[in-house]
Amino acid sequence: MADIAMMAPPLVLVVCLIVVPIVIAVYLSFTDWNGFTTPLHLVGFRNYVRIIHDPAVAHAAFVTLLVTVVGTVACNVLGLGVALLLNRNTRLNAVLRVLVFYPYVVGAVILGFLWSSILGTSGAVNALLGAKHALPFLSNPTWALATVICVIVWSSFGVNVVLYLAGLQTVPDSVLEAARIDGASAWQTFWRVKLPMLAPTVTVNVVLVVIGLLRVYELILALTRGGPAGETQSFVYNILTSSIDNTQLGYGAAQSVVLMIVIVAVTVGITAARRRSEQAVAA
């Protein structure tokens, strides 16, 4: 009974904050609810069929996929590289660790407005370059998407640095010393010793980054507002546009359910792939 009593509060929170909202979202996804009218009218799978044929959803999915793939690779490569550089415990490295991690703890909306004031048409950079040499960081579709990805990576990879630093601290000094005695170069030590022992950390980093980028919204809202002409709208941005701006909460709920399924599938897939590779190495 004592164990059940201790488990009851977290179980209640999980049910109230996760299970119940998911059930409500799934139910609303089968309705045409606009957020105001009652009773709700069931429309079956009409919203899901509409998702398949909606060009706005397709473009938002492409933008989200591009941001996720490029951002995941960039965040992990930069995170691991910076972590290797800052692995020694010195005062300078301690300061640099704080500076690298700081953007991650600042609100995404604040960072979006900050970079908008720096890179906007009338921003600080273009003010220095002058009207003749101004760059369309946020006004050209290609430039805007590249700018969004760069800002997202800059604001996100700090947590990867911290996690990789924690992983590097778990690599035994005796193993590294043995590699040096055997004549292994710095690259060989990294590739054959450090990286295999960092495999669990890599998995955690990839999963966290993928989930975060699939749900990216606030920074895009503050930086480009989905523009120019909707070219930088992410999937979550499109969900909120459908639900709030267009008062189609049933349709927005259907998109939310699809995104939830994608996140779960990707997370399970990455974890399963990692386990298979570990079993192959062990065999």
Give CATH superfamily name and number for 27-282. MetI-like (1.10.3720.10)
Give residue limits of the domains in the chain: 27-282
Q: Look up the pTM and report it.
A: 0.89
Residue 280 pLDDT: 63
Please compute, for residue 113, the number of CA atoms within 13 A of its CA located in the half-sphere on the CB side. Answer: 4
CB within 8 Å of 221: residues ≥ 6 apart: 109, 112, 237
Distances (CA, A) of 253 to 48, 177, 216, 244: 10, 55, 17, 11
Q: Which tens digit of pLDDT belongs to each residue from 61-106? A: 999 999 999 999 999 999 999 999 998 888 888 898 989 998 888 8
Q: How confident is the model at residue 4 (pLDDT cuts 50, 70, 90)?
A: confident
Evaluate whether 206 touches 77 at the Cβ level (below 8 Å). Answer: no
Q: Which two tokens stand for residue 146?
A: 């590249």
Tokens of 128: 């220095």
pLDDT grade for 1, boundaries at 50, 70 and 90:
low
